[in-house]
Amino acid sequence: MLKFKLNSVDQKTKARAGVIKTDHGLIETPIFMPVGTAGTVKAVHQRELRNDINPDIILANTYHLYLRPQIEVIKKAGGIHKFINWERNILTDSGGYQVYSLSSSRKITEDGVSFRSHIDGSSHFFSPEKVMEIQRDIGADIIMAFDECTPYPCDYQYAKSSMQMTHRWLDRCVKQLNKTKCKYGYYQSFFPIIQGSIYKDLRVQSTEYIANINADGNAIGGLSVGEPPEEMYAMTDLVCELLPADKPRYLMGVGTPINILENISLGVDMFDCVMPTRNARNGMLFTANGTINIKNKKWIQDFSPIDEMGITWVDKEYSKAYLRHLFVSNELLGKQIATIHNLGFYMWLVREARKRILAGDFNKWKSQMVSSMDKRL
């Protein structure tokens, strides 16, 4: 059973420090969860993930694992932890967002979603019941409801009908989970997802509906899909005010380091985003002093370390000039180094935020960090 203990709430903001306990260990919050879509955090060995980046929990994706390697393989391996050799926590996203992003090759009905595989064009169908079954078979510690993620911009009527269908799907998810058991000898927690686009009254309705499920934790979906940051913060603030304080709050798919700090200050506990890994593979590095595009010519003879802070071992092992050379030469090692650096920085950021919340000076530190990170170096 998932347990959540709130250690401290910041006096000047709504930032929280807590601990989630699952059968695979402790998750200290606020936490960032590296995205391992297909059972791998791209360009990172599990050994590096464990020893150098050191997250308490990572993400995997139902849609991608269902298509490859397919669920039978994961079941035969004894579940996702054994298949990928990761003994810490795992959360699986339901695949709702991935199906949403296949807009040209999917059809949504009350029953579920018909879609074509992005790999070979084959036809598939996801219902709330089927997605719960797949997540039981995958065996993550935290599993997500199957929802419809609305685009941005989105008109009010569409957002309303989509949210109502997400609620009906949620009831079907819960019913299905109650019929089935965890398959690998440890408990699986279920998080429902709040929708409602950028409409306050819909977000309020959805939050109340989701809170009434009384699940182990609650997620905020449908943000970070193109809306301005101010809209995102307004929705997060509204929702966190209404959600129960004794359950973890997970903001899905967010975001930049600044987005993460701002949302921590509004009361969010858990985050995931492809940004640190995807941007790393394109040569963008996040640091406490701003972002670096390592492919720029200005770094060609900069022999200083990648990052003087030295959060991960790569930061002082290699120079900016060398890392630039690797990217310009299209060497795979460049992507690996940048990924380890970015994930290390994201983990440092949320852990430092936690320290500051516990110490009582989070607000001052957050303001300084937002100002210093909002630069291009």
Spell out the domain ranges in the chain.
3-272, 274-377
In this prediction, residue 104 carries a pLDDT of: 74
Catalytic, out of 10, 56, 93, 307: 93
Average pLDDT, the chain: 96
In this prediction, residue 334 carries a pLDDT of: 98
Domain 3-272 has CATH 3.40.50.2300: no
Q: State yes or no: is 93 an active-site residue.
A: yes
In this prediction, residue 149 carries a pLDDT of: 85
Q: Which residues of the chain have pLDDT under 50?
A: none
Q: State yes or no: is 307 an active-site residue.
A: no
In this prediction, residue 106 carries a pLDDT of: 85
In this prediction, residue 220 carries a pLDDT of: 98
In this prediction, residue 95 carries a pLDDT of: 85
In this prediction, residue 96 carries a pLDDT of: 78
- Max CA distance (Å), the chain: 63
Task: Supply the pTM of this predicted model.
Answer: 0.97
Catalytic, out of 56, 272, 307, 315: 272
